[in-house]
Amino acid sequence: MLMLAGIVVLHITTIILLLVATIDNAWWITDSVSTDVWGRWELTTSGWHYTNLKNYPEEFLQAVQATSVLACIFAILALFVFVAQLFTLPKGQRFTFTGVLQLIACLCIMIAASIYTAELRKDTGGFGHSYVLAWISFVLTFILAITYLILRKKSE
């Protein structure tokens, strides 16, 4: 029972990290600019102002946006499927479908972060916390996917 609670807590934590990485505006940062996959925040004398992303290859940007959102969707769906399988799966069976959904979420966030790394980062500045959270989410979703693929429903 404690192991299942730990898995659910880890899964919810991973979903939160994925959502923050997708929504928050800190994939690439400098002293006066903070960029995410949706827009750009520029620091002016009157404060932070939102602008559209300029000079970014549209097809790469859309690929990062789409795979980030898909990672969130598949991770959330995997949690619901896991809970449903807890009540419907026969004893001794593996949580294979949940593991596959989690593996797809893992691949989606890996693709998003990889494309961002290779194509969308700028020369000056550095990676922000959202970018780091995306890679941490990749590791956690991979660990969860392997856990679900190995986990069997035990008799109580």
Give the pLDDT confidence of 71-125 residue by residue, as tens digits. Answer: 999 999 999 999 999 889 888 888 999 999 999 999 999 999 999 888 877 668 8
Domain limits, the chain: 2-150
Give the pLDDT confidence of 30-45 residue by residue, as tens digits. Answer: 888 888 888 888 888 8
The DSSP code sequence of 39-98 is: -EEEEETTEEEEE---SS-HHHHHHHHHHHHHHHHHHHHHHHHHHHHHHHSPTT-B-HHH
Could you give the CA distance from residue 36 to residue 120 in angstroms, rounded to a whole number? Answer: 10
Could you give the CA distance from residue 4 to residue 87 in angstroms, rounded to a whole number? Answer: 13
pLDDT at 89: 85
Mean pLDDT along residues 132-146: 95
Stated pTM of the model:
0.89
pLDDT at 52: 85
CA distances from 40 to 25, 32, 81, 128, 142 (A): 7, 10, 36, 13, 30
- Res 155 pLDDT > 70: no
Give the pLDDT confidence of 54-66 residue by residue, as tens digits. Answer: 777 888 889 999 9
At 61, list the tokens.
Answer: 């940007």
- Res 68 pLDDT > 90: yes
Mean pLDDT along residues 1-23: 93
Could you give the CA distance from residue 131 to residue 77 in angstroms, rounded to a whole number? Answer: 23
Fold classified for 2-150? Butyryl-CoA Dehydrogenase, subunit A; domain 3 (1.20.140)
